[in-house]
Amino acid sequence: MAGNEAVFKTLIDIDSELSQIQDLDILLERVLSEARKVVNADAGTIYVKEILDDEGIKTEKLVMRYSQNDTIQNELPPGQKLIYSVFSLPINDKTISGYCALTQQLVNVRDAYNLPPDVPYSFGLNYDQISGYKTTSILAVPLKGTEGGLLGVIQIINAKDKDGNVVPFSQNDETIITHFAVNAIAALQKAQLTRTMILRMIKMAELRDPKETGTHVNRVAGYAAEIYDRWATRRGESEERRNKFKDNLRTASMLHDVGKVAISDTILKKPGKFTPEEYSIMQTHCVHGSALFGDSQSSLDSLSRDIAFTHHENWDGTGYPGKVDPVTGMPVDFDDTGKPIGKKGEEIPLAGRIVALADVYDALCSRRVYKEPWGEEDVLMEMRKMSGSKFDPELIEIFFEVLPGIKQIRQLYPEAD
Ligand code: C2E
Ligand code: SIN
Ligand code: SIN
Ligand code: FE
Ligand code: FE
């Protein structure tokens, strides 16, 4: 059992790291990578149970959230993200993960291509056929909530021995992963609650079609995290700083427009172009938003304040609200005509510059009460055109570098129709 002592020490360390992550998406990705690490597995996928509403008929499904594969990842150029298609599985006994969700039992498959004759599920060859990867051993682990409900399933693939050979998952692996899952659940439930509370707050703030709002803010947050990650890699930021900032950024970005709570419905929901007066009222959402976070020093609050305050500033200084106090909204620096001077360049905090770009990209791609969605090519041309005027040119460069990842996030949080 000497080996296991070290394993349990590792589990405790992981537990304390996971419990510090606030954002649900960051956490899901991390839970998957840590699960693979504790049992030395090459690949895996994490699914979340969601209730999908298909014209009034509610069905529970497993929606794939993150997928990882070291073998395929290692064949990509350094820094490039593994792109996979997002899909969902019914909760029934036909697939391995579906069966795991249905029974809430761990499923250990020695060889996906030689299943025992008495199991109800079969192995879908699709993934292997598309990727050219060979799946052999599979461990599907249910993530059971403390109130009996199922949160999701972690499916890990291809255990490796110390020489790198693919082997079945052992009994010991089953024990370790079961303990791991208990810890992961606690962190996941907390993050899920935080996410729910944030989405409720946004629903209240924007007082508009909640279908649109929830996915818009999740996409903006996802793009922001993606862009930051590449920026931080370029700067050689330490992994610890990067993870912490990214976690805060993902959550804070969702709150960029909470200040819209102060804008009247007639303006917010106007089904057409604003008059100049309406537009200037709408512009106050930045100060209203930042004031909500007061002068709190917590890293999440101060980042949320920065983002709410500066996500409409432009790189060239032509944006709003400009140099005003973030809590009172009183100008602190005027031009000759008495208007606040815009912030420009690196006077705008990084997070504000990132969210500015993410927000406009998503707004252009989406339907709004006041506009139709633009076509993809037009959107990309517009983004490129605004490099150096509206947007930080380095961030636009990064945006185009990580575009495949950005498009993947659109798939993860599709617009409701
Ligand atoms: P939003 O809809 O989330 O849009 C965010 C930003 O994306 C906008 O900031 C703008 O920079 C950009 N954007 C959105 N649609 C277009 C477009 O068709 N063309 C161009 N060039 N840029 C676009 P902005 O303009 O400061 O607006 C802030 C918020 O004010 C918008 O958030 C939206 O909620 C509201 N809004 C702006 N203009 C109108 C309007 O004419 N009618 C209505 N009903 N709402 C508007
Ligand atoms: C699974 O079976 O759990 C994943 C989907 C498949 O490959 O069949
Ligand atoms: C613009 O706002 O740049 C014109 C395009 C539009 O409103 O759809
Ligand atoms: Fe805004
Ligand atoms: Fe927005």
Distance CA 240, CA 226 (A): 16
How many Å lie between the centroid of ligand 1 and the Cα of residue 152?
A: 37
- Nearest alpha carbon, ligand 1 atom 14: 363
How many Å lie between the centroid of ligand 3 and the Cα of residue 276?
A: 15
How many Å lie between the centroid of ligand 4 and the Cα of residue 285?
A: 7
Pocket around ligand 1 at a 6 A CB cut-off: 270, 273-274, 282, 312, 359-360, 363-364, 368-371
- Nearest alpha carbon, ligand 1 atom 11: 360
Secondary structure (3-state) at 322: coil
How many Å lie between the centroid of ligand 2 and the Cα of residue 270?
A: 46
How many Å lie between the centroid of ligand 2 and the Cα of residue 112?
A: 10
From the CA atom positions of the chain, what is the Rg in Å?
23
pLDDT tens for residues 354-408? 999 999 999 999 988 888 999 999 999 999 999 999 999 999 999 999 999 999 9
pLDDT tens for residues 246-294? 999 999 999 999 999 899 989 988 889 999 999 999 999 999 999 999 8
pLDDT tens for residues 8-40? 888 888 988 999 999 999 999 999 999 999 999
How many Å lie between the centroid of ligand 1 and the Cα of residue 66?
A: 31
Distance CA 218, CA 399 (A): 17
pLDDT at 95: 96
**For residue 105, what pLDDT band results from cuts at 50, 70 and 90?**
very high
For residues 306 and 353, the answer to whether their CB atoms sit within 8 Å is: no
State the closest ligand 1 atom to the C-alpha of 320, by its place in the atom list counted from 1: 26
Distance CA 115, CA 76 (A): 31
DSSP string, 174-193: HHHHHHHHHHHHHHHHHHHH
Closest to 342 measured CA to CA, from 304, 390, 307, 384: 390
pLDDT tens for residues 314-361? 999 999 999 999 988 898 998 888 888 999 999 999 999 999 999 999
pLDDT tens for residues 128-175? 888 899 999 999 999 999 887 899 999 999 999 999 999 999 999 999
pLDDT tens for residues 38-79? 999 999 999 999 988 878 889 999 999 999 999 999 999 887
- Indicate the top mutation candidate among 46, 97, 109, 129 to test ligand 2's pocket, ranked by most ligand atoms within 8 A of CB: 97
pLDDT at 205: 79
pLDDT at 125: 81
- Indicate the top mutation candidate among 309, 366, 371 to test ligand 1's pocket, ranked by most ligand atoms within 8 A of CB: 371
- Nearest alpha carbon, ligand 1 atom 44: 270
State the closest ligand 2 atom to the C-alpha of 100, by its place in the atom list counted from 1: 3
